[in-house]
Amino acid sequence: MKFTEEHEWLLVEDDHVIVGITPHAAEALGDLVFVELPETGITVAKGDDIVVIESVKAASDIAAPLDGEIIAVNEALIEKPELVNEDPLGTAWFFKMKLTDPDSINELMDEDAYNDLIG
């Protein structure tokens, strides 16, 4: 897994990555009550806000961690946004994307560096 400073995780799977938020982020947000996912087939640039999440505490955006195309979204989160709080590293992934530059994943943090970040 790779991690961003915005508390997203990325898991490389075949020719794409799966993206979600870390347990640290899920805990900070509190209980999620709404998730709006991007459309499949769109091309996004690193930093583009592409997911909207609302919790009992606040509304937040999740940005594209890298450049690429959204190839799948986790429809289960629309009906059950609480999955993000229950299993942020597993069933609660947000989207899958095919990276424009697969090597760009190497710019992100590994687990040790992320753990140092959250201290």
Q: DSSP letter string over 54-100?
A: EESS-EEEEE-SSSEEEEEE-THHHH-TTHHHH-TTTTT--EEEEES
What's the pLDDT score for residue 68?
Answer: 98
What is the rounded average pLDDT of the residues 78-96? 95
pLDDT digits (tens, 9 = 90+) for 24-62: 999 999 999 999 999 999 999 999 999 999 999 889 999
What's the pLDDT score for residue 18?
Answer: 97
What's the pLDDT score for residue 90?
Answer: 93
What is the rounded average pLDDT of the residues 60-84? 96
Residue 6 has pLDDT above 90, yes or no: yes
CATH fold of 2-100, please? OB fold (Dihydrolipoamide Acetyltransferase, E2P) (2.40.50)
Judged by DSSP in three states, 113 sits in: helix
CA 43 – CA 68 distance, rounded (Å): 6
Can you give the pTM of this predicted structure? Answer: 0.94
Tell me the sheet residues that pair with 34: 54
What's the pLDDT score for residue 35?
Answer: 96
